[in-house]
């Protein structure tokens, strides 16, 4: 009896170890995921952290300077996620400051673009807000790429947008723009255009004030991309049919703000942040 009792702890430990041990081939099942782009488009503040705070997640954008974004999607756990945007700083007192908090419903296998935009300074218009946009771009068709515009340029007013293929084409912009009189916060539809060929410079997004062709406010090339083959999958871009991208127009940084304190100052003119919303089909068997 004494021998039996003394062996009980060893038996319990042995069973516990067996129960906790996983087979060497065990694969942790992936949770249902949606996909997200994060964009920092607040022109009068400093670095920011975008965080999921209702559960442990790899999704987020950290130490993000103005105009920072993830060009390619990041997985995020599907469901209602609580998102906080903090000031980013090595000083804990500053890093704990919450700029905004919101709950976003993410549907499995759907794409989203979350943009922190507007002015942070009190009394400035338009005021800071977060815009969550559903993406889910369709196939642009054979030999085409897709492009969409989002106007997140606080203080820029309405704009006209054209697509060109060479830098010199800015000298002869059409009187009627491809997308005209676009208001702040507008989200355009996806447009299909022929993909570039190697002889072209590359598709470029050209922005002017509404009703004008000069001066050019922004002239931003889309990424070229890389075609796939049997050894590698394609990388989305203007020369790779099946690619779909979004151009998020962003404003100049505000003088005297943290975004403008580099020497020399950076981001002093309007621009566009390019995001990839759809990749071409895989080519690797």
Q: What is the structure's pLDDT at 13?
A: 46
Contacts 24+ apart (CB under 8 A), 12-15: none
In-domain check, residue 6: no
Judge whether 8 lies within some domain.
no
Q: Identify whether 2 is part of a domain.
A: no
The answer to whether residue 37 sits within a structural domain is yes
Q: Is 191 domain-assigned?
A: yes
Ordered mean pLDDT values, 10 residues apiece, the chain (285 residues): 42 48 68 97 95 96 96 98 96 94 98 98 95 96 97 98 93 94 98 92 95 97 95 96 98 86 78 98 91
Owning domain of residue 126: 28-278
Q: What is the pLDDT, as a whole number, of residue 63?
A: 95
pLDDT score, position 11: 46
Question: Judging by beta carbons within 10 Å of its beta carbon (0-12, 13-18, 19+), is residue 144 exposed, middle or buried?
Answer: middle
pLDDT of residue 44: 94
User: Which pLDDT belongs to residue 200?
Assistant: 82
Query: How far is the C-alpha of 135 from the C-alpha of 133, rounded, in Å?
Result: 6
User: Does a structural domain hold residue 13?
Assistant: no
Q: Are 244 and 137 in contact (CB under 8 A)?
A: yes
Q: Based on DSSP, count helices (H) and strands (E) in the chain, helices before strands.
A: 2, 16
Judge whether 38 and 70 are in contact, CB under 8 Å.
yes
- Calpha distance 148→168 (Å, rounded): 23
Within-domain flag for 9 = no
Structure tokens that stand for 225 in this block = 């991309």
Phi and psi of 68, rounded to 5°? -70, 150
Contact present, 52 and 34 (Cβ < 8 Å): no
Total domains in the fold of the chain = 1
Flag whether the pTM goes above 0.85: yes
Which residues are within 8 A (CB) of 40 and not within 5 positions of it... i.e. 6 or more apart?
A: 48, 50, 61, 64, 65, 66, 67, 68, 69, 116
CA distances from 119 to 74, 127, 129 (A): 26, 5, 8
What's the pLDDT score for residue 108? 98
pLDDT at 199: 85
pLDDT, position 10: 45
Sheet holding 60-64, edge to edge: 60-64, 48-52, 79-87, 98-106
What is the CA 181 to chain-centroid distance, rounded? 24
| 187 occurs within a structural domain | yes
Structure-derived torsion over alpha carbons of residues 96, 102, 105, 111, reported in degrees to the nearest 10: -70
Chain position carrying tokens 């516990």: 16
Res 24: pLDDT: 63
pLDDT at 21: 60
CB 63 within 8 A of CB 263: no
Q: Say how far apart CA 206 and CA 2 lie, in whole Å.
A: 87
């Amino acid at each position: 009896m004494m021998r039996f009792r003394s062996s009980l702890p060893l038996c319990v430990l042995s069973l516990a170890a067996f129960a906790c041990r996983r087979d060497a081939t065990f694969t942790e099942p992936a949770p249902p995921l949606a996909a997200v782009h994060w964009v920092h488009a607040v022109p009068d503040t400093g670095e920011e952290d975008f965080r999921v705070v209702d559960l442990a997640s790899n999704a987020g954008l950290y130490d993000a300077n103005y105009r920072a974004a993830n060009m390619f999607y990041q997985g995020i756990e599907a469901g209602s996620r609580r998102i906080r945007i903090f000031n980013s700083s090595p000083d804990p007192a500053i890093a704990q400051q919450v700029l905004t908090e919101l709950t976003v419903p993410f549907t499995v296998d759907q794409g989203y673009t979350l943009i922190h935009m507007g002015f942070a300074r009190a009394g400035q218009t338009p005021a800071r807000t977060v815009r969550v946009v559903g993406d889910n771009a369709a196939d642009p068709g054979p030999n085409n790429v897709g492009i969409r515009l989002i106007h997140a340029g606080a203080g820029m007013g309405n704009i006209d947008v054209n697509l060109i293929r060479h830098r010199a084409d800015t000298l002869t912009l059409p009187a009627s723009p491809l997308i005209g009189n676009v208001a702040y916060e507008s989200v355009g539809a996806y447009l299909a255009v022929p993909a570039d060929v190697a002889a072209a410079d590359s598709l470029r997004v050209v922005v002017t004030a509404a009703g004008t062709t000069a001066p050019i406010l922004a002239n931003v090339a889309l990424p070229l991309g890389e075609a796939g083959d049997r050894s590698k999958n394609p990388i989305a871009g203007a020369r790779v049919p099946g690619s779909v991208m979004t151009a998020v127009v962003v404003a100049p940084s505000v003088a005297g703000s943290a975004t403008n304190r580099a020497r020399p100052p950076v981001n002093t003119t309007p621009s566009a942040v390019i995001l990839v919303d759809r990749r071409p089909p895989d080519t690797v068997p």
